[in-house]
Structure 1
Amino acid sequence: MAVVGAVPVVGAVPVGRGPSRAGPPAARAQVPYAAAMSQPARILVYGVYGAGKSTLAARLADRLNLPWYPVDDLLWQPGWVEVPVAEQRSRIEAICRRDRWILDGAYHGWRDVPLARADLVVGLDYPRWLSFWRLLRRTVRRLLTGEEICNGNRESLGSVLSRDSVLVWHVTAYGRARRRMRAWQADPSGPPVLLFRSPAALTRWLADLPR
């Protein structure tokens, strides 16, 4: 069990910005993490497609009174026209220069920007089957309801069945996303990282967060 200030966190794996040379092993793991988490103001939520990043970001924004910037809205224009990577980076840099924010993702071309400014990374390190099932369920719901996403776009049967389908992306990107999160966790020069291996552990942590 790790300690965030006076709040116990169960089922998550915390890492501080660097190891302390004093105190027992438990203290070395907890002290820098507790200090970093005393009042997080810049949070990066990360995970594979379908893990629940946006849902978690919305809950954290409400609980901690922080502004949430949905990443997909910054990356896609109407008609599924992707914003050029240079412009994506510029938009993310403008957000990350602010003192308070939550981002629900980090992608190639600008992933380094939020990592350099975040004071907490929350990673959803769920099993492959769970995140894929969530993604499949969400995709079917959006197809049936015509739900608007990403600046008025909608998912279509053609896009879901294409080689660029988000379902295909999940299969190909899952391993890379998991390795990336765990590498961040092991890097003492980066921000503190919390990895959650199950929704139940995440729910317990959220319930114990100070309001």
Structure 2
Amino acid sequence: MSAPRRILVYAVYGAGKSTLAERLADRLGLPWYPVDDLLWQPGWVEVPVATQRSRIEAVCRRERWILDGAYHGWRDVPLGRADLVVGLDYPRWLSYWRLLRRTARRLRTREEICNGNRESWTSVLSRDSILLWHVTAFGRARRRMRAWQADPSGPPVVLFRSPADLERWLADLPGR
């Protein structure tokens, strides 16, 4: 397999999209554009969807990129340009455990997520909690990844059911 130049990493919240995108960027020498940086303003103010789409279109017009997500209103843009979609199709318990662990670390360390935003107890315990988002989005994300993989008209999709499967694939991926 020749090294892809435009990669969409996709999974439910907390599965490890950003971590994988960063690793792929280092391994392949591709620029990584963290989606959260493009979607959220300070104070967790969501960028309007039309602006999100415009920002994603600007990234996807480039010849080389990695995106760590694809959301409503513009999901078609990276899918239309990607050389490869990498999906983390992990069991619910694993992705939820990773999300819980990451959320606890971010609460403890006050780690900045994007544009000055941080997780807080208020956000974690709210109706808009990322923990609740995971519960409601898991099945949709899984069905979407599997449908993309089955669609011969779209970009190639590799799905990983376990971190060990992903590590084996990464070991065989050509580097820079």
TM-score, structure 2 length as denominator?
Answer: 0.98
Contact 2:3/2:174 (<8 A) preserved:
no
The match for 2:35 is: 71
The structure whose Rg is larger is: 1
What is the CA deviation profile of residues 57-102 of structure 1, one whole-angstrom value per residue up to 9, with x for unaligned ones? Answer: 0000000000000000000001111100000000000000000000
1:1-211 matches, cutoff 5 A: 5=1, 38-211=2-175
Question: Could you say what secondary structure the match of 2:85 adopts?
Answer: strand
Question: Could you say what secondary structure the match of 1:203 adopts?
Answer: helix
Contact 2:112/2:118 (<8 A) preserved:
yes
Large movers: runs of 4+ above 6 Å = none
Distance 2:20 2:157 in 1: 15
User: What's the RMSD between the two structures over aligned residues?
Assistant: 0.6
What is the CA deviation profile of residues 12-44 of structure 1, one whole-angstrom value per residue up to 9, with x for unaligned ones? Answer: xxxxxxxxxxxxxxxxxxxxxxxxxx2310000
Distance 1:148 1:48 in 2: 20
Q: Give the aligned residue type for 1:54.
A: S
What is the CA deviation profile of residues 140-193 of structure 1, one whole-angstrom value per residue up to 9, with x for unaligned ones? Answer: 100011111111111110110011000000000000000000000010100000
Residue ranges of structure 2 left out of the alignment (5+ in a row): none
Q: Give the aligned residue type for 1:157.
A: W
Distance 2:15 2:24 in 1: 15
Contact 2:90/2:162 (<8 A) preserved:
yes
Distance 1:164 1:39 in 2: 38
Q: Give the aligned residue type for 1:161.
A: L
Contact 2:3/2:173 (<8 A) preserved:
no
Identity score, percent: 87
Residue ranges of structure 1 left out of the alignment (5+ in a row): 6-37
Question: Could you say what secondary structure the match of 2:118 adopts?
Answer: coil
Question: Could you say what secondary structure the match of 1:95 adopts?
Answer: helix
Q: Give the aligned residue type for 2:5.
A: A
Distance 2:59 2:126 in 1: 33
Residue correspondences, number: 175
